């Protein structure tokens, strides 16, 4: 068989197709080979970075739950009632105020040294929450703190828990009952602030 007869049926397109198949085979073989990687590139330098998003998320969620408990403790009639979106937003804004103050006070590495002590973290967040309510005006219309009396401010070495009250809606002075109509009786439960 002559050399020209052997390559007579092979065209340029067939040659390119064979080369393309060969290159694709090498590509797929390269995809499935395992390589050793250096894990140093995956290390996170916590001293240089800020707070990780997971810690921020967990802190805001814990603060939100604590704020809800704080409100419910001051008004037990609200137990089991889901706050409407406006109050939820106000509570989240309050929690971001708390978290911002804590983040200014502690760098992440310092915070992680304190974090295992649940009592210290609870006190830190509670004191910071009080500052946000009194100094930044968060939770307005949801939670009111009663001012301390002179006797309470003179006590030393004791943590004083401020009392919280839920605001009552002002009664309209223009309402008058007609002489023939009976007056509405209340069921003894306070008006809730979580009503929309």
Q: Is 103 exposed, middle or buried (0-12, 13-18, 19+ CB in 10 A)?
A: middle
Ranges of each domain in the chain: 53-149+160-165
Residue tagged 């390269």 (tokens)? 30
CA atoms of 16 and 4, how far apart (whole Å): 19
- Segment 75-85, tens digit of pLDDT: 888 888 999 99
CA atoms of 175 and 177, how far apart (whole Å): 7
Predicted confidence pLDDT, tens digits, the chain (196 residues): 566 655 666 676 777 778 888 888 777 777 666 565 555 554 556 556 688 999 999 999 999 999 999 999 888 888 889 999 999 999 999 999 999 999 999 999 999 999 999 999 999 999 999 999 999 999 988 887 777 665 655 554 444 444 444 445 445 544 454 555 555 555 555 555 665 5
State the pTM of this model. 0.54
């Amino acid at each position: 068989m002559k050399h020209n007869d052997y390559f007579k049926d092979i065209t340029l397109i067939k040659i390119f197709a064979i080369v393309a198949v060969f290159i694709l085979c090498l590509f797929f073989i390269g995809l499935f080979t395992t390589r050793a990687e250096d894990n140093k590139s995956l290390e996170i330098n916590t001293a240089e970075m800020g707070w990780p998003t997971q810690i921020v998320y967990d802190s805001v969620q814990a603060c939100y739950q604590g704020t809800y408990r704080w409100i419910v403790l001051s008004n037990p009639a609200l137990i089991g009632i889901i706050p409407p979106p406006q109050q939820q937003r106000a509570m989240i804004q309050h929690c971001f105020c708390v978290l911002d103050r804590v983040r200014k006070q502690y760098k992440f590495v310092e915070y992680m040294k304190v974090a295992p002590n649940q009592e210290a973290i609870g006190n830190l967040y509670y004191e910071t929450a009080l500052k946000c309510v009194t100094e930044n005006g968060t939770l307005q219309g949801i939670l009111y703190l009663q001012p301390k009396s002179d006797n309470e401010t003179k006590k030393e070495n004791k943590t004083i828990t401020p009392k919280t009250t839920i605001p009552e809606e002002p009664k309209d002075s223009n309402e008058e009952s007609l002489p023939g109509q009976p007056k509405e009786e209340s069921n003894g439960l306070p008006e809730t602030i979580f009503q929309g």
